[in-house]
Amino acid sequence: MQILDQPEDTSPAISYAALIEKIEILRSTLRWSSRLERADIEKLLRQANTLRDEVMQMSHKERFVQAAVAEPVRVEQSRQARRQGLLERSFIFEGTFGDNPRLLEALEIAEKAAPTDLPVLIDGESGTGKELMAKVIHANGSRPDKPYISVNCGAIPDNLLESELFGHRRGAFTGASSDRKGKFESAHTGTIFLDEIGELPLAGQVKLLRVLEAHEIQRVGSDEPIAVDTRIVAATNRNLRQLSEEGRFREDLFYRLSVIHVTLPPLRERRDEIPLLFSWFADEAAGVLKRRPVRLTPRLRDFLLSYAYPGNIRELRNVMYRISCLAGDTADMEHLPVDMRPAITTPAAQGGARAAGANGASVANLMSLSDAKRAASDEAEKAFLERGLHEVGGTVAELARRVDMNRSHLQMLLKKHGLHSKDFRNHASKESRDDSEEKEAG
């Protein structure tokens, strides 16, 4: 057994967490030692003495303040550890991204529920990833290579619903010109995903309940039962419990479906994931659009970080695809959909936003996509430079540094757009520093 070398010097900043760690190292060294040489014992003794001294040095206050400060770090680690744990257990994420504790909790429930074949009810606002979660459950279940059939209960007209779900016999109704399999039969041995289950009419709910109870269906126009072995995952953006209290959703069906209940939080309640999702979707869009991942101006980034995302992750994803398509290297406010842009913008931005808003909407209709992209990219570039110059008070060198761009290239761009840095001078500092560039740029 090798004795771990702990630093023996007493560091001036003793942290409670570091002390605990040292104690743990000592303990495990002792626990796993089968034999200790005298020298090792001396070394461990010295470490123990140092530890005792450090503990003595630490006042009560320090202990608790330091421990409290260390807390967020521990939370971070445990998030990573939880995601890592899922990875190590070969959990299939199906592209589900994020490590917010509430998402991790949903994934951990999915992990446990997946192999059981118990019905799962997923609820959450539109765009929170319910369908993705259903795929995760299927992929991690005992039937991953069997069919996965998705049905949107809200999109089927009432009179066709039964036939869609359970199939029909030829001649069962006008237009039933041949025998037809329903979704349940197609999903036999696999998973059926019943999306927007809250929209299922009461008549359909009764039929569904029977399938859940008897594991068999009857095609419309036939009384022959057909056994189906299908794992059911249902999703809704409604409050099913409340619907059942109002008599609009059968309570017994609710309980049947929600043996395992997973709730996906709206994006505004897991904002910590937004920056990660930006880069995730920027990379994804870059791959699809065969471009470099789009960059965001600080202004756009700030806006998108504080935006409410009523459409949740779907909306964020769509925005990243949109700006990746419309912007050049860097996207700015004018690449946002008009209805998403803030009502009040700074004067500098208004020019750009107006240009892209007024022209942008029609430009996209009238020109070819590549023209529209070029136009939007030029607008974005100019607005970006204007705003940048404004922010740095006309100091080109500073702007070049902030946007990580070669200075002469930046000056070339200023020329291209007819921008003069001196027009953005404010009375603030930095003037002398930038005098030389002003001449070059002018």
Ligand X SMILES: Nc1ncnc2c1ncn2[C@@H]1O[C@H](COP(=O)(O)OP(=O)(O)O)[C@@H](O)[C@H]1O
Nearest distance in Å: CB 281, ligand X: 8
Helical packing angle, 369-391 and 407-416, nearest 10°: 110
Nearest distance in Å: CB 134, Mg ion: 9
Q: Does 216 bind Mg ion (CB under 5 A)?
A: no
Give me the sheet containing 231-236, strands edge to edge: 148-152, 191-195, 231-236, 120-123, 260-263
Q: Which of 105, 131, 378, 438 binds Mg ion (CB under 5 A)?
A: 131
The closest alpha carbon to 103, from 137, 75, 74, 79, belongs to 79
Q: Does 131 bind ligand X (CB under 6 A)?
A: yes
Question: Residue 266 binds what, of ligand X, Mg ion, none (CB under 5 to 8 Å, by partner type)?
Answer: none
Q: Does 265 bind ligand X (CB under 6 A)?
A: no
Pick the closer one to ligand X by CB: 273 or 386. Answer: 273
Reading the block at residue 387, the tokens are 């705003």
Tell me the residue nearest to ligand X as measured from the CB.
Answer: 129
Q: Which of 119, 127, 182, 328 binds ligand X (CB under 6 A)?
A: 127
Q: Is 189 left (phi over 0), alpha (psi -120 to 50) or beta?
A: left
Residue 6 to residue 14: CA distance in whole angstroms: 14
For ligand X (CB under 6 A), the number of binding residues is 15
Question: Residue 265 binds what, of ligand X, Mg ion, none (CB under 5 to 8 Å, by partner type)?
Answer: none
Pick the closer one to ligand X by CB: 95 or 342. Answer: 95
Judge whether 132 and 180 are in contact, CB under 8 Å: no
Q: x-or-dash pattern for ligand X, window 89-108, by CB under 6 A?
A: ------xxxx----------
Q: Does 128 bind ligand X (CB under 6 A)?
A: yes
With tokens 């089968």, the residue in question is 34
Nearest distance in Å: CB 38, ligand X: 57
Nearest distance in Å: CB 275, ligand X: 13
Dihedral sign from CA coordinates of 274, 277, 281, 282: positive
Judge whether 384 and 332 are in contact, CB under 8 Å: yes
Q: Does 138 bind ligand X (CB under 6 A)?
A: no
Q: Does 40 bind ligand X (CB under 6 A)?
A: no
Q: Is 90 left (phi over 0), alpha (psi -120 to 50) or beta?
A: left
Reading the block at residue 317, the tokens are 């994803």
Residue 244 to residue 240: CA distance in whole angstroms: 6
Binding range to ligand X, per CB under 6 A, among 309-317, 330-338, 356-364, 412-420: 309-317
Question: Residue 10 binds what, of Mg ion, ligand X, none (CB under 5 to 8 Å, by partner type)?
Answer: none
Q: Does 252 bind Mg ion (CB under 5 A)?
A: no
What is the three-class DSSP state of 267? helix
Q: Does 108 bind Mg ion (CB under 5 A)?
A: no
Residue 187 to residue 312: CA distance in whole angstroms: 29
Q: Does 204 bind ligand X (CB under 6 A)?
A: no
Q: Does 199 bind Mg ion (CB under 5 A)?
A: no
Outline where 215-273 has alpha helix (H): 240-245, 251-257
- Using CB under 5 A, list all residues that contact Mg ion: 131
Residues binding ligand X (CB under 6 A): 95-98, 124, 126-132, 313-314, 317
